[in-house]
């Protein structure tokens, strides 16, 4: 049975806490991130796409390099995300972005946000351990797209 992305969200909430949780699928042929899950569908609707809204360094680190991005405070969020004002309005000032990797291929990214100061290095490690749970659901979504 495939673990749903809602279950991944619930496990993330129970493990490290989360205020805003989205999952983006990576569409390499368009160099786009496609939102396939959202804890806040009014502000971040499923189906939305991001192409150039994030800093190139973030894409290189998280999607290409398959390494998590950790922004511990509002300054880090502002530096990377064009929608930082909305993120701030939702009470989020810390972010962990974790690549979801399947057999060497980046399928997408878990976006985990909470209040400034909510996360540390241990939180990043815990978030990284949750990413494999999203592999089956992302693989299925990308295959049926």
Task: For residue range 91-120, list pLDDT tens digits in order.
Answer: 999 999 999 999 999 999 999 999 999 999
Range of the domain at 139: 5-144
Encode the chain (145 residues) as per-residue pLDDT tens digits. 467 999 999 999 999 999 999 999 999 888 889 999 999 999 999 998 877 555 668 888 999 999 999 999 999 999 888 889 999 999 999 999 999 999 999 999 999 999 999 999 999 999 999 999 999 999 999 988 7
| Phi, psi dihedral angles at 35 (to 5 degrees) | -75, 120
Give residue 66's pLDDT. Answer: 97
Q: CB–CB of 75/84 below 8 Å?
A: no
Give the length of the chain: 145
**Angstrom distance (rounded) from CA 101 to CA 126:** 16
Q: How many domains does the chain have?
A: 1
Give the domain CATH number at 76. 3.30.450.40
Compute the C-alpha angle 9/140/17, nearest 5°: 10
């Amino acid at each position: 049975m495939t673990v749903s992305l809602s279950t991944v969200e619930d496990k993330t909430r129970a493990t490290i806490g989360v205020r805003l949780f989205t999952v983006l699928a990576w569409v390499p042929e368009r160099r786009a991130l496609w939102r396939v899950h959202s804890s806040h569908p009014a502000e971040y609707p499923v189906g939305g796409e991001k192409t150039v809204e994030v800093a190139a360094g973030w894409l290189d680190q998280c999607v290409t390099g398959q390494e998590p991005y950790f922004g511990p405070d509002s300054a880090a969020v502002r530096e990377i995300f064009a929608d930082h004002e909305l993120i701030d309005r939702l009470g989020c000032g810390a972010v962990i972005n974790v690549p979801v990797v399947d057999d060497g291929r980046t399928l997408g990214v878990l976006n985990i946000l909470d209040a400034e100061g909510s996360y540390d290095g241990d939180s990043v490690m815990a978030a990284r351990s949750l990413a494999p749970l999203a592999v089956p659901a992302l693989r299925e979504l990308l295959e049926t797209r």
